[in-house]
Amino acid sequence: MTNQAVLKELEGSTFQLTEEQRDIKQVVREFAETVIAPRSAEVDETAKFPWDVYKEMAESGLISLPYPEQYGGGGADPVMECILVEELSRVDLSVALACGVNTLGSQPIMLGGTEEQKRKYIPQITSGEKLCAFGLTEAGAGSDFMGIKTRAVKKGDKYIINGTKLFISHANLSEIVTVFAKTSPEPGLKSLSCFIVDKSSPGFKVGKTEHKLGIRGSETAELIFEDMEIPAENLIGNEGAGWKLAMSTLDHSRPGVGAQGVGVAQGALDFAFKYAQEREQFGQPIGNFEAVQNMLVKMAMDVEAARLLVYKAAVSVCNDNREKAMYASLSKCYGGDVAMRVTTDAVQVLGGYGFTKEFPVERMMRDAKITQIYEGTNQVQRMVISRHLLKGYK
């Protein structure tokens, strides 16, 4: 085979983006740099969700992009969805969550909802009219979410829900929340169910809002349900389907967290790289020093490897491959660890300036930390991965 033929063959199975994926990347990058970047420092400082930016994102089709067209979505393929998250996170991870939290919150509806539930709720999200949150975690149920105490009891054509959810992204901003509650007092996987909850339900209350280290523009709050009444038809799937729904929702969302990690790491690397070319010490750019070059090279290798793993996981989850949960965890865990390493090294490359608010890399380092914690900590991801490896998955 000639070199040309080998190259052509390789092109057929390339790791290159399609034309449509490249177009999306460019559109989102331009949007993020012109609309989001000028607001990021203020959003971080005030810790307020930027509603005006959100509206512009909705008008530009970025909020609806990940959803199927029949529900008002842009019909993005799984890699495109990662590119969207990655490019937004490259500039501001907290604003990227304007998309990410909606898709996480609405995933149980997309995966287990009836056609009627999808037609009722998803267009309200794709239009930008309403935000959607995901209510799983409680004070005593974090990594071990089977410790959930929130209880849903059926009374006629209603469920009465009592309990408190903790650390819920956009809980105070969302009008739709998917809530996990126990429909049986018995322990075990079959005791958990998932419901669509409307903010207007009697007994729905928002508790305290958290003061956070990072992703400060993505508000996080408590939800309190006091004899909250919801229609019985808001149950997603059957009673007892909650555990499976939670697990498959997380399989779908974890490559997205990996993409957040890749994005924030790429943003920090881009800043560090530019700075290393401009900043002079000992009469030359610091980028001429091998120690600095080594840091930049390691950062670039990490980002590139994490990106490929994220895309592979996204496709694997979408194709419902047997090993999808393992790839979802691999990509989330690696993407999060890379985000933390690369943003920390970016601060190092910028020296003292990196430690100040004059440059965004300190914010990126603070924002990156959450990717190792939410949607299952990276210790939990390692548990999932090792379980799959022990089953013989490759």
Ligand X SMILES: Cc1cc2nc3c(=O)[nH]c(=O)nc-3n(C[C@H](O)[C@H](O)[C@H](O)COP(=O)(O)OP(=O)(O)OC[C@H]3O[C@@H](n4cnc5c(N)ncnc54)[C@H](O)[C@@H]3O)c2cc1C
Name the minimum Å distance from CB 26 to ligand X: 30
Q: Is 375 a catalytic residue?
A: yes
Name the minimum Å distance from CB 356 to ligand X: 24
Position 195 contacts ligand X (CB under 6 A): no
Cα 106–chain centre separation: 12
Say if CB 177 and CB 105 are below 8 A apart: yes
Please identify, using beta-carbon distances, which residue of 267 and 376 lies nearer to ligand X: 376
- CA-to-CA distance for 42 and 47, rounded, in angstroms? 8
Which residue in 98, 99, 109, 168 binds ligand X (CB under 6 A)? 168
Name the minimum Å distance from CB 350 to ligand X: 25
Please identify, using beta-carbon distances, which residue of 172 and 296 lies nearer to ligand X: 172
Tokens of 301: 């290798």
Kindly state the number of chain residues that form the binding site for ligand X, as judged by CB under 6 A: 22
Point out which span in 15-23, 86-94, 278-286, 375-383 binds ligand X (CB under 6 A).
Answer: 375-383
Q: Which of 83, 69, 37, 94 is CA-nearest to residue 210?
A: 94
Position 247 contacts ligand X (CB under 6 A): no
Q: Which of 254, 272, 256 is CA-nearest to residue 344?
A: 272
- CA-to-CA distance for 137 and 167, rounded, in angstroms? 7
Name the minimum Å distance from CB 133 to ligand X: 6
Name the minimum Å distance from CB 224 to ligand X: 15
Say if CB 123 and CB 64 are below 8 A apart: no
Name the minimum Å distance from CB 151 to ligand X: 17
Which residue in 16, 127, 379, 386 binds ligand X (CB under 6 A)? 379
Position 373 contacts ligand X (CB under 6 A): yes
Residue 166 Cα distances to 139, 224, 390, angstroms = 6, 9, 33
Sign of CA dihedral 336, 54, 47, 180: negative
Which residue in 68, 72, 123, 142 binds ligand X (CB under 6 A)? 142
Active-site entry in 138, 219, 222, 375: 375
212-241 binders of ligand X (CB under 6 A)? 212, 215, 220
In the chain, the amino acid numbered 299 is: M
Position 293 contacts ligand X (CB under 6 A): no
For residue 371, the SS3 value is helix
DSSP conformational letter for 34: I
Tokens of 345: 């090294």
Please identify, using beta-carbon distances, which residue of 173 and 310 lies nearer to ligand X: 173
Tokens of 88: 């937004």
Name the minimum Å distance from CB 167 to ligand X: 4
Which residue in 169, 191, 249, 343 binds ligand X (CB under 6 A)? 169
- CA-to-CA distance for 6 and 281, rounded, in angstroms? 46
119-138 binders of ligand X (CB under 6 A)? 133-137
Please identify, using beta-carbon distances, which residue of 95 and 349 lies nearer to ligand X: 95
Give the residue carrying structure tokens 């030359």.
284
Question: Which residue in the shown chain puts its C-beta closest to ligand X?
Answer: 142
Position 143 contacts ligand X (CB under 6 A): yes
Label residue 185 exposed, middle or buried (CB < 10 Å: 0-12, 13-18, 19+). exposed
Tokens of 299: 């950062």
Residues that bind ligand X (CB under 6 A): 133-137, 142-143, 167-169, 212, 215, 220, 370, 373-377, 379-380, 383
Q: Which residues are catalytic?
A: 375
